[in-house]
Amino acid sequence: MWPTISPRMILTTGIVLLLIVFFLLVNPFWQVNSGYVGVISNFGSLQPVALNPGLHFAIPFYQQIMLVSVQPQTTQSDETASTHDLQVVNTSIAVTFHVDPEEAPFFYQNFRDFETLGTRIISPAVSNDVKEVTANYNAEELVTKRDIVDAQIKGLIVSSLAPYHLTVEAVNVANFAFSDAYTQAIEAKQVAQQQALQAQYTLQQTQISAQQQVVVARAQADAAVATATGSAQATILQAQADARANNLVNASLTPSILQLKAISKWSGTMPQFLSAGTALPFIGNATLGNGK
């Protein structure tokens, strides 16, 4: 026989089933995944404490939990500014940031989403900060002092976003782009500078070559002078030696020695004809008429 089911049991079972269906429909359990925090609202009133990742219970119809991402977000904007020398410069700024987990209720209350945050806060702040920094530099300095300019822009952006409880992780500044006319002028200036450097280098090489030629000419002249001086001194010494030799020879050539030398070279043949008064060879002043 079937057990008797009382009306009370039927009512109790119905209530339990209704409660199960109710919980399944309203689902009072909320899961906050890693990389997010929960913001709880009591009938639209945001609570100041954020919910960490995990499973949380919310009273149905009274409480609601909204998720806020605390992962890195990136916004990018194209900026146009003027330099100190009134040149128009264009650049692209990418800001990477994240919401502080403890300040998620503040973020949700004021912005709700990152698109609104970027439009209302980040883009205007970046634009103002870029204009403020670039106005302090000439166009050429934006290129030559790139690291300094980047650091100043990042510092201003971090300071501007600090009141909104945002942690700035990185600020990337793209290359500064100038107008076509200014770019052409810069290129022409660089070409002129290169030509001037080439001309200066050529002049230096010419001067060095001329100096080398002068040094060589001086060396050759010095060598010629030294050679001429040596030759002249040698000639003088030779002449002095010849003069001394001649003096010695003249001093040693007496009449007797001269006659002896002549006799040594005479072949012994007497002249066939002698005029009156002519001296006989190697005999002195004796004449033909007086000698025997």
Residue 7 lies in a domain: no
Domain total for the chain? Answer: 2
List the Cα angle 184/190/196 in 5-degree steps: 135
User: Range of 103's domain?
Assistant: 73-178
Residue 132 lies in a domain: yes
pLDDT per position as a tens digit, 75-130? 998 998 888 888 888 999 999 999 999 999 999 999 999 999 999 999 999 999 99
pLDDT at 11: 75
My answer on whether 33 and 117 are in the same domain is no
Residue 174 lies in a domain: yes
pLDDT per position as a tens digit, 248-275? 667 766 666 666 666 776 666 666 655 6
Of the candidates 121, 147, 178, which is a domain's last residue?
178
Tell me, what CATH number does 157's domain have? 3.30.479.30
pLDDT at 26: 63
Could you tell me where the DSSP H helices lie in the chain? 7-26, 104-110, 114-117, 123-134, 139-144, 146-161, 180-252, 255-265
pLDDT at 252: 67
Structure tokens at 253: 């050539």
pLDDT at 169: 92
Residue 1 lies in a domain: no
Of the candidates 178, 200, 223, which is a domain's last residue?
178
Residue 272 lies in a domain: no
Residue 277 lies in a domain: no
pLDDT at 216: 82
My answer on whether 56 and 134 are in the same domain is no
CA torsion angle for 82, 86, 90, 95 (degrees, to 10)? -30
My answer on whether 102 and 122 are in the same domain is yes
Of the candidates 114, 143, 178, which is a domain's last residue?
178
Q: Which stretches of the chain score pLDDT less than 50?
A: 284-292
